[in-house]
Amino acid sequence: MDEPTKIFGTQNAGSRDASEQAAIDRPQSVNLGYSHITEVHEEAGPSDAPAFRTELGSSGIVTWTDKTLPCTMELSVLSVVTFLLQQVTVSNILLFSAVFFLAADYIKKRAPKNFPPGPFSWPIIGCLPSLDFAEPQVAINKLSGKYGDIFRVDMGSFRFVVLSGFQTIKEAFVHQGDIFADRPHIPIFYNVSKEYGLVNSNGHSWKQQRRFALSTLRNFGMGKKSLEQRINEEISCLTGVIEEQKGQPFDPHFHINSSVSNVICAISFGDRFDYQDPEFQNLLRLLDETVKLEVGVSTQLYNSFPQIMKFFPGSYRKVLKNWKIIQMFIKKIIEKHREHWNPSEPRDFIDCYIAEMEKFKGDPSSNFDEENLVHCAMDLLFAGTATTSTTLRWAILYMAVYTEIQEKVQAEIDQVIGQSRKPLTENRKSMPYTNAVIHEVQRISNILPAGVPRHTNRDTTLGGFHLPKGTTVTANMASVMHNKNLWKTPDMFNPEHFLENGGFKKSDFFLPFSIGNRVCLGEQMAKMELFLYFTTLLQRNALLAALKMR
């Protein structure tokens, strides 16, 4: 026999007895292309079926290859390993690595059965070529039009499912709220916070931190008169700075940021900062820069390929560096608190947290520790600054553009509050038009269009699709807040969306703070701030002149 056409399988030669072994004649060696296989003979196998007897070099290993059996590991692994060792060249290593990575990527990305559909996913890069980073919202809406209310997107190694439409988002975040309650480990955020704090924590730790933060913020006035007073003091500082501009045009961005940030700083750190304080200004600048860079291409690439990107430069590194500086700033404040801590006179959130740490010292079920304190304070500062101040800047812009709406707000302010006193939260009930305008600003500006991502903590079914445990999910809020079936003029600024018969009309489809058990923790505080800042800014004619709105 010259060259066997195929080797089908092997059996161990050990099953032959001595007489059978002796009877085997030794025909010539066969070249299979594997130089290490020195001898291959066709003869009767251990079960008398036609078989090949194979000797692997001088290793003494003999295998029987039955023509009808599938290959066993013994022959194939040894053959392949020996073959590879003999073929080691740079090009082969590269080829092997490429095949290995493609195969690993394919296996990792294989969608489970009945997983939501999505755009074509290329090996390694996923759907990146079909995503429009310049206009992500437009891209998401297009994909939703094509694939429906539940579809998946692969960004490199990072896969997420996008939920659109009120019913789908409500089903996930409210009816299945416990299953969709966790946060995913998005590389950039995980690198900074792990699972510490309020925004990125999960499970028992998140419940403990959230419950404590809510009750402490309430004790310090959230939703009460005392917070209103604090906000009004801060607004006075802002209006003072604006008046100093003496009607000249100026950029209100950092003044508004400083003022809004001081409200949460006063509650968390017990003190406000002077607008000229260089450390405070640097902190705000870092927060601002971080928000911008976090949605940039470099950070998105880092989120998609963290293991590769960590070897490359890019602005994602600035994000990580900025967070380290912000963390140091907060750690310094906590150290100072410890020096003057008096358990009988808690001054702020940090003092209360230290008291909680002391109370639960040694309790293994407690998550009140130093690391969580730093991240809770950081989350409050970040979430309580960027969101409210961005919304206020949108409000000023809309008032500058829609002067007839601005005039109607001012007429209502004149009628309900007048010019001689400060606005109060309770005035909101009697100011339906102003309230509608603020809601409309939030609806149309939709400052967190994808909310904050969630993560399934169990296998579940949504809209007929299977979402296994560990699926990252984001809500397409524009699909609700800009939906043409839910709003009369979805893409136009129109306060009438929130008005009916001259009164304020609530809408279930107004979701800037999201819904479900992870809904914004500072919603009440944000609503109070928005109303007080907005009405004060529009009440003061001098300010309006300075803001060039009239």
Q: Which residues are annotated as a binding site for heme?
A: 520
Min CB(213)–ligand HEM separation in Å: 7
Which of 513, 540, 545, 549 touches ligand HEM by CB under 6 A?
A: 513
**Nearest C-alpha neighbor of 539 from the set 424, 391, 461, 445:** 424
End-to-end CA separation in angstroms for the chain = 100
Contact assessment for residue 367 and residue 204, using Cβ atoms and an 8 Å cutoff = yes
Residue 221 engages ligand HEM in binding (rule: CB under 6 A): no
**What is the rounded CA–CA span in Å between residue 218 and residue 223?**
7
Residue 61 engages ligand HEM in binding (rule: CB under 6 A): no
Structure tokens at 426: 């309770």
Residue 446 engages ligand HEM in binding (rule: CB under 6 A): no
Which of 155, 172, 192, 198 touches ligand HEM by CB under 6 A?
A: 198
Residue 518 engages ligand HEM in binding (rule: CB under 6 A): yes
Contact assessment for residue 262 and residue 234, using Cβ atoms and an 8 Å cutoff = yes
Nearer to ligand HEM, 118 or 512 (CB): 512
Residue 525 engages ligand HEM in binding (rule: CB under 6 A): yes
**What is the rounded CA–CA span in Å between residue 402 and residue 549?**
9
Structure tokens at 265: 């700083």
Residue 309 engages ligand HEM in binding (rule: CB under 6 A): no
12 three-class SS: strand
Q: Which stretch binds ligand HEM (CB under 6 A): 40-48, 163-171, 415-423, 513-521?
A: 513-521
Q: Could you tell me the CA-to-CA distances from 468 to 179, 403, 479, 518 in Å, in that order?
A: 11, 51, 24, 20
Min CB(534)–ligand HEM separation in Å: 11
Structure tokens at 345: 């006179």
* Interacting residues of 519 by C-beta distance below 8 A, sequence separation 6+: 513
**What is the rounded CA–CA span in Å between residue 491 and residue 489?**
6
Min CB(493)–ligand HEM separation in Å: 17
Residue 514 engages ligand HEM in binding (rule: CB under 6 A): yes
Give the number of other Cβ atoms within 10 Å of residue 229's Cβ.
12
**H-helix or E-strand spanning residue 37:** strand 37-44
Min CB(258)–ligand HEM separation in Å: 15
Residue 199 engages ligand HEM in binding (rule: CB under 6 A): yes
CA trace torsion 120, 124, 127, 128 (10° rounding): -150
Residue 32 engages ligand HEM in binding (rule: CB under 6 A): no
Residue 41 engages ligand HEM in binding (rule: CB under 6 A): no
DSSP state of 122: B
Which of 451, 465, 478, 546 touches ligand HEM by CB under 6 A?
A: 451
> Which x/- pattern, by CB under 6 A, does the window 463-502 give for ligand HEM?
----------------------------------------
Min CB(377)–ligand HEM separation in Å: 11
**What is the rounded CA–CA span in Å between residue 309 and residue 298?**
9
Nearer to ligand HEM, 155 or 163 (CB): 163
Contact assessment for residue 500 and residue 436, using Cβ atoms and an 8 Å cutoff = no
Residue 520 engages ligand HEM in binding (rule: CB under 6 A): yes
Window 360 to 419, contacts with ligand HEM (CB under 6 A): 379-380, 383-384, 387-388, 391
Min CB(260)–ligand HEM separation in Å: 8
Cα within 13 Å of Cα(433), Cβ side = 14
Q: Which stretch binds ligand HEM (CB under 6 A): 76-84, 327-335, 447-455, 493-501?
A: 447-455
Which of 448, 486, 545, 549 touches ligand HEM by CB under 6 A?
A: 448
Window 257 to 296, contacts with ligand HEM (CB under 6 A): 264
53 three-class SS: strand
| Residue whose tokens read 């003072």 | 240
Min CB(113)–ligand HEM separation in Å: 28
**What is the rounded CA–CA span in Å between residue 473 and residue 456?**
8
Min CB(12)–ligand HEM separation in Å: 60
Nearer to ligand HEM, 266 or 309 (CB): 266
Nearer to ligand HEM, 37 or 150 (CB): 150
Residue 210 engages ligand HEM in binding (rule: CB under 6 A): yes
Q: Which residue is nearest to ligand HEM (CB)?
A: 522
Min CB(442)–ligand HEM separation in Å: 7
Give the number of other Cβ atoms within 10 Å of residue 98's Cβ.
12
For β-strands 61-66 and 50-56, DSSP reports them as antiparallel
Q: Show binding-site residues.
A: 520
**Ramachandran assignment for 89, one of left (phi > 0), alpha (psi -120 to 50 degrees), beta (any other):** beta
26 three-class SS: coil
∠ at Cα 230 (354, 232), nearest 5°? Answer: 160
| Size of site (CB under 6 A) for ligand HEM | 25
CA trace torsion 298, 301, 305, 306 (10° rounding): 40
Residue 214 engages ligand HEM in binding (rule: CB under 6 A): no
Residue 452 engages ligand HEM in binding (rule: CB under 6 A): yes
Which of 406, 410, 512, 534 touches ligand HEM by CB under 6 A?
A: 512
Min CB(170)–ligand HEM separation in Å: 12
Q: Where are the beta strands (DSSP E) in 498-544?
A: 499-500, 503-504
Nearer to ligand HEM, 432 or 522 (CB): 522
Contact residues for ligand HEM, defined by CB under 6 A: 198-199, 210, 264, 379-380, 383-384, 387-388, 391, 447-448, 451-452, 512-514, 518-522, 525-526
